[in-house]
Amino acid sequence: MSDLQNAGQTIAQPPAGNPATAAAPASTSSRKGRIPLPQSTLLRHLLAVVLCAVAAVVLLESTDPFRNSQLATLTYYAIAAGGLTVLTGLNGQISLGHGALMAVGAYTTGLFLSADEPLPLPVVFLAAIVVTALVGAVVGAAASRLHGPYLAGATLALAVGLPGLALKFKGTLGGEQGLRVRAPRAPEWFGDAIKTLTGNPATATKWLAYVGAIALLVTYFLLANLIRSRIGRTWRAVRDNDVAAELAGIRLGSWRVLAFVVSAACAGLGGAVLAIVVRLAAPSAFTLVLSLALLTAIVLGGLGSLLGALIGSALLVFLPQVTTDLGSAAGLDGTEAAQLAPFVYGVVLVAAMIFAPAGIVGTIRLRWLAQRAKRAVARETGR
């Protein structure tokens, strides 16, 4: 009985009012007995960022250059997937055009870096984000009137059509061969810092992996803020029941466009990181396959969850490698082992759809919710 009251008061009152719940912030997820988290969303999320940053440094410093470059690949997939999971998972809009939006970011980055005196990298990234967000606003305005398969069709047209622009404007965009991207060198302080920290040499690959990791952390920090705020809640409401949302005073079109713009901005940054990591922006890198890979990543990981987007991207990057290694170890020759990867990926996808249709994070969350609902019912009937 008192438990029930406390649960209610945690939400109703500031903690100071009740000594029993003093440690519990207003967040609905925390109750007494849990680790006390800062009440401010900003502090809580900054804390998470710091922990993840430490983990990223440990990960990058304890792995070889090849793994470093794989991790750099992971960062740009995860950045774009994070944006897509906000759009598809939170706002319910599907996009098959995010590969093309990444292309916009990548080409913008390539063009800005090809200048004789290139602007600082953060400024170039910002430019890529802004340009892609603008494209996203245009696409989003059209998309906000479409649903389901029609939206998929429209964004599919984007995925198929946009890379063709590179062929049309051969002079500036490099045609089929693509645009060589001059990745900026690591600054001196970076080398010094790495040397004093671990004694490892600071390679160019490592620098790019760090750039990707920083971009990833900043993106996920900002996205997490949005998801936890009224913005994320409004997106989810629009996704669940548009008529009811509209009656609550939500202008559906604007909120859908906003989701598309935020999502496109992430795709733009993902494309920008891709450009400097791969050192090339070419149409062949931004085919429909890329868009589909991003979608499968967020569905596998769990729609609407940043952690899910990260896990899905990790599967995307590491699963082929792991299966190829396993195949070689089992005595297959090189080609056969490489052919194993898409097969295993397909099997994982089918298995996920059958056994965990809500994705990895989603399934765990559903289990947890079911448990909690059971407890709540038990508490009510046991009263």
Partner 1 sequence: MGPLAQPTPTAGSTALDRTTAESARPSSRLEMTGISVAFGGVTALSDVSLVVEPGQVHGLIGPNGAGKTTLFNVACGIVRADSGTITWRDRPLRRLRPDQLARLGIARTLQGVGLFAGLTVLENVMIGAHRHARAGFASALLALPRSDSDERALRGRATAALADLDAERYADRYPGSLPYPVQKRVALARALVSSPELLLLDEPASGLAEDEMHELGKLIRSLSARMGVLLVEHHMDLVMSVCDRVTVLDSGAVIASGTTTEIQADPAVTAAYLGEDVDVEHDAAELQAGTGADRA
Stretches 35-43, 188-196, 274-282, 312-320: which one binds partner 1 (CB under 8 A)? 35-43
Interacting positions 195-224 with partner 1 (CB under 8 A)? 222
4 binds partner 1 (CB under 8 A): yes
Measured from the CB atom, the residue of 194 and 303 that comes closer to partner 1 is: 303
Measured from the CB atom, the residue of 171 and 249 that comes closer to partner 1 is: 249
* Among the listed residues 229, 284, 321, 371, the single contact to partner 1 using CB under 8 A: 229
Measured from the CB atom, the residue of 245 and 309 that comes closer to partner 1 is: 245
42 binds partner 1 (CB under 8 A): yes
Interacting positions 230-269 with partner 1 (CB under 8 A)? 230-231, 233-234, 236-237, 239-241, 243-252, 258
12 binds partner 1 (CB under 8 A): yes
The Cα 64–Cα 86 span in angstroms is: 33
369 binds partner 1 (CB under 8 A): yes
Residue 246 CB, shortest distance to partner 1, in Å, is 4
The Cα 381–Cα 376 span in angstroms is: 9
41 binds partner 1 (CB under 8 A): yes
Q: Which of 230, 121, 100, 240 is nearest to 185 (CA)?
A: 121
371 binds partner 1 (CB under 8 A): no
Stretches 37-45, 138-146, 200-208, 318-326: which one binds partner 1 (CB under 8 A)? 37-45
40 binds partner 1 (CB under 8 A): yes
Interacting positions 69-88 with partner 1 (CB under 8 A)? none
Measured from the CB atom, the residue of 237 and 298 that comes closer to partner 1 is: 237
Interacting positions 118-177 with partner 1 (CB under 8 A)? none
Tell me whether strands 280-281 and 179-180 are parallel, antiparallel or unpaired.
Answer: antiparallel
The Cα 250–Cα 91 span in angstroms is: 13
In the complex, the residues that contact partner 1 under the rule CB under 8 A are 4, 7-8, 11-12, 14, 26, 28, 39-42, 45, 222, 225-226, 228-231, 233-234, 236-237, 239-241, 243-252, 258, 369, 372-373, 376
